[in-house]
Amino acid sequence: MSQDEWHASACILCELNCGIKVQTGGAEGREIVRIRGDEDHPASQGYLCQKASGLNHYQNGKDRITSPLRRRTDGSFEKIDWNTATREIMERFAAIRDAHGGDKIFYYGGGGQGNHLPGAYSSATRSVLGSVYRSSALAQEKTGEFWVNGQMFGTMVKGDFHHCDVAFFLGKNPWHSHGIPRARAFLKDFSKDPTKTMIVVDPVVTETAKMADIHLRVKPGTDAWLFAAMIAMLVQSERYAQAWVTENTTGLADIIHVFSSLPVAEYCAYAGLTVAEVERTVEVIANAKGMAMFEDLGIQMNHHSTLISYLEKLVWVLCGHFGKEGAQYVPAYLQNIAGSGRSSRKSPVVQAPIISGMVPCNVIADEILTDHPDRYRAMLVESANPVHSLADSNRMREALRALELVVVIDIAMTETARFADYVLPASTQFEKWEATFFNFEFPENYFHLRKPLFAPLGDSLSEAEIHCRLLEASGDMPMALVEELRTILQQAGRPGFQERFMAAMGEDAMVAKLAPVILYRTLGEALPEDAAEGAVLWPLALNFALRDSESLARAGYTGDAFKQADQLFDAIIAGHSGVTFSKDNLETVWGRLGHEGRIQLAIPTLLDELKVLEAGPLDRTNTEFPFALSAGERRDYTANTIYRDFSWRRKDPDGSLRMSPDDAAVIGVSTGDQARITTAIGSALARVEVTDRMLPGHVSIPNGFGLDNEDGTRSGIAPNELTSLDDRDKFAGTPHHKFVPAKIEAIA
């Protein structure tokens, strides 16, 4: 690669995956030396936040592994070759499957903020092993919302921030965490526009809250009372969109029944807010042309999270903010990462609800640490670091130790990989073709398949290649079919290939399950620029064409669904800055609504749950743990655990403990002092930052800190050394990480 050339790729630090243009060079030409925004990227259009400038810290980061590793009996690792690794791993997984059933092999991960192709390819390996239980980080944040969406809308919904006149951020700080394209530029423009209103509900005076027209500084953990009061205000003074609600929803009578006598003033007081400020907010929402809502971790990892997800949606549905400009919409997607939101299965040991196919993260350790006959006995972890990212790290380590086999696929020797029997080295997201399925824009949505910037380092491989080799080693890859398909593709091109491939899937259900790896080894090998990892997008393009042919046609892909799918697939492979694949309108949005086109207002279980609010929030003032610790705040220099090298941080290198001046005075600490944080399960030392961002009684530490590097360095606190598994939502099992009861003491 020439050094002056700019290559298109994407930032991999948050789900936005802004398009980047980079120059490579440096040592052996393997460094990212210059980065700028890619103007050709359909969503980010040249935008980047400051975090992207450090991407070389990911590409050439700490703790990289470049060879398959096997644990020795003394706990150290030895390098082994790929043949040995794939053969032994599949033999050991198969032995567990044959002795105890494939359902004892648990799968965790499948992708981070920038990579979702591992999840697509691993589905083949999981099918062969009969692994039916899985989870990912989504089951410690979003599953409550997915469940509510499923019941109300029969699909996922998103807020149309770029066309709304009222923007509502609930427990969300997009200035740091983004979540919408070009977030900072958006927030600046929006807050300056006198015709638009920004509402933020957050106990903290965040960067976003400072820009808001209305900042409801709710008491930590009391959003449920606030939203119940808002609905009561709408119902009791009949300020909801009566005609719209009658036409488009069912269940209004139940809502009126429950909220008509709810004591509004009392509930506002429980939330630490005045009736007047809540009234004003409700008025703005009721009068908005289109209001877009984003709820995030501030409530999703907090008390009553699933209930709040529901109440929040009732507020905007009652005001008619769905299926019109600037309101909520149902996005077009190639792969539905949110699943159906249905909860039809339970986890085998704890009997926890599995939502959208995912076991709640907070029960995984309990599913393992038991003598129950249905316990998980083996685990495959891919592109995730559950020891660091899930509640109660000690318990997760104990669980990993108890398993008969742990295999981790990662680019680095992580806190989780250290407990593996085998660690398989993945190439980084800049060393293989990669993509995410996190794009949900409207009215046009896009997809970005990124071309590698470098060859894989050492013996590392893409996940697509890893899963193929695992299945070839176990003899589960249908080699004869692969050979036949290769020949057909050469001789008859894609139409003949497609015909034979479809027929093969019809003849043998296993072929459909192995489709990703078969396509990788056949269609993938024939793709331009060695884009083999892109092969799995072909069936996804076809599914989309069959589902949403009109949307695809409006985006410029013509002909019958098969032709459309081929054009889209080729465009994705060729388009290095991302391509638009759908062009929706409001009719499309209504057409995608489930439940026969009517929004279901009543979720009986959650309406019943309102009873628990009657007693008001728990007062912790005089308990052993009087503080609400927000364990894992997004800040300037946090990016989950994607950067393992903390030298990228230009400020706040240890991740300070933020607290209010009042609390600091009582405890006797000032900025820069050390304090001890103690929770029910652990204790840690932190450097204090006194700031009037925080309310008295509320303290926070950042996420992503406290990684243990191979060279012995560590910076800041690993938040989950302090969080507990039991502290979780009643419905979705999601953790209360934003409200960890804690004690804070000065250190002399």
Ligand X SMILES: Nc1nc2c(c(=O)[nH]1)N[C@H]1C(S)=C(S)[C@@H](COP(=O)(O)OP(=O)(O)OC[C@H]3O[C@@H](n4cnc5c(=O)[nH]c(N)nc54)[C@H](O)[C@@H]3O)O[C@H]1N2
Question: How many degrees, rounded to 5, is the angle at CA 506 between CA 504 and CA 507?
Answer: 65
Could you give the string, one character per residue 50-79, with x where binding to ligand X holds by CB under 6 A and - elsewhere? -x----------------------------
Among ligand SF4, ligand X, none, partner that 738 touches (CB below 5 to 8 angstroms by kind):
ligand X
In whole angstroms, the minimum distance from the beta carbon of 9 to ligand X comes to 13
In whole angstroms, the minimum distance from the beta carbon of 630 to ligand X comes to 5
The residue range among 146-154, 472-480, 541-549, 715-723 that interacts with ligand X, by the rule CB under 6 A, is 715-723
Distance (Å, rounded) from C-alpha 351 to C-alpha 540? Answer: 33
Pair of tokens at residue 63: 């703790």
Pair of tokens at residue 98: 């044959």
Radius of gyration for the chain, computed over Cα atoms and rounded to the nearest angstrom: 26
Binds ligand X (CB under 6 A): choice among 522, 580, 723, 724: 723
Binds ligand X (CB under 6 A): choice among 9, 60, 389, 522: 389
φ, ψ for residue 89, nearest 5 deg = -60, -45
Where in 43-62 is the site for ligand SF4 (CB under 6 A)?
48-49, 51-52
Among ligand SF4, ligand X, none, partner that 299 touches (CB below 5 to 8 angstroms by kind):
ligand X
The residue range among 38-46, 85-93, 216-224, 555-563 that interacts with ligand X, by the rule CB under 6 A, is 216-224
Where in 10-29 is the site for ligand SF4 (CB under 6 A)?
11, 13-14, 16-18
Question: How many degrees, rounded to 5, is the angle at CA 704 between CA 701 and CA 706?
Answer: 80
Spatial contact of 105 and 89, defined as CB atoms under 8 Å apart: no
- Other C-beta atoms within 10 Å of 81: how many? 11
Where in 178-237 is the site for ligand SF4 (CB under 6 A)?
178
Binds ligand X (CB under 6 A): choice among 631, 677, 688, 717: 631
Among ligand X, ligand SF4, none, partner that 297 touches (CB below 5 to 8 angstroms by kind):
ligand X
- Cα–Cα distances (Å) from 262 to 241, 258, 276, 284, in that order, read 20, 7, 17, 21
Distance (Å, rounded) from C-alpha 157 to C-alpha 639? Answer: 25
Distance (Å, rounded) from C-alpha 160 to C-alpha 21? Answer: 27
Among ligand X, ligand SF4, none, partner that 429 touches (CB below 5 to 8 angstroms by kind):
ligand X
The residue range among 24-32, 121-129, 380-388, 505-513 that interacts with ligand X, by the rule CB under 6 A, is 380-388
Binds ligand X (CB under 6 A): choice among 393, 703, 724, 734: 703
Torsion over CA: 507, 512, 518, 520 (sign): positive
Among ligand SF4, ligand X, none, partner that 293 touches (CB below 5 to 8 angstroms by kind):
none
**Which of 273/354 has CB closer to ligand X?**
273
Q: Does 171 bind ligand X (CB under 6 A)?
A: yes
Among ligand SF4, ligand X, none, partner that 16 touches (CB below 5 to 8 angstroms by kind):
ligand SF4
The residue range among 38-46, 257-265, 296-304, 681-689 that interacts with ligand X, by the rule CB under 6 A, is 296-304
In whole angstroms, the minimum distance from the beta carbon of 17 to ligand SF4 comes to 5
Picking from 665, 685, 660, the residue whose alpha carbon sits closest to that of residue 675 is 685
Spatial contact of 114 and 450, defined as CB atoms under 8 Å apart: no
Q: What is the 3-state secondary structure (H, E, C) of 50-76?
A: HHHHHCHHHHCCCCECCCCEEECCCCC
Could you give the string, one character per residue 632-651, with x where binding to ligand X holds by CB under 6 A and - elsewhere? xxx---xxxxx---------
The residue range among 180-188, 440-448, 514-522, 626-634 that interacts with ligand X, by the rule CB under 6 A, is 626-634
Among ligand SF4, ligand X, none, partner that 678 touches (CB below 5 to 8 angstroms by kind):
none
Distance (Å, rounded) from C-alpha 301 to C-alpha 738? Answer: 6
Residues forming a β-bridge with 696:
none
Spatial contact of 740 and 721, defined as CB atoms under 8 Å apart: no
In whole angstroms, the minimum distance from the beta carbon of 203 to ligand X comes to 5
Distance (Å, rounded) from C-alpha 589 to C-alpha 597? Answer: 10
The per-residue b/e assignment along 521-534, b for 16 or more CB within 10 angstroms, e otherwise, is bbbbeebeeebbbb
Distance (Å, rounded) from C-alpha 292 to C-alpha 567? Answer: 33
Distance (Å, rounded) from C-alpha 269 to C-alpha 219? Answer: 10
Binding positions for ligand SF4, rule: CB under 6 A = 11, 13-14, 16-18, 48-49, 51-52, 178
Residues that bind ligand X (CB under 6 A): 14, 51, 112-113, 115, 118, 137, 140-141, 170-173, 176-178, 201-204, 206, 218, 220-221, 223, 296-299, 302, 382-386, 389, 409-412, 414, 426, 428-429, 463, 630-634, 638-642, 703-704, 719-720, 723, 737-738
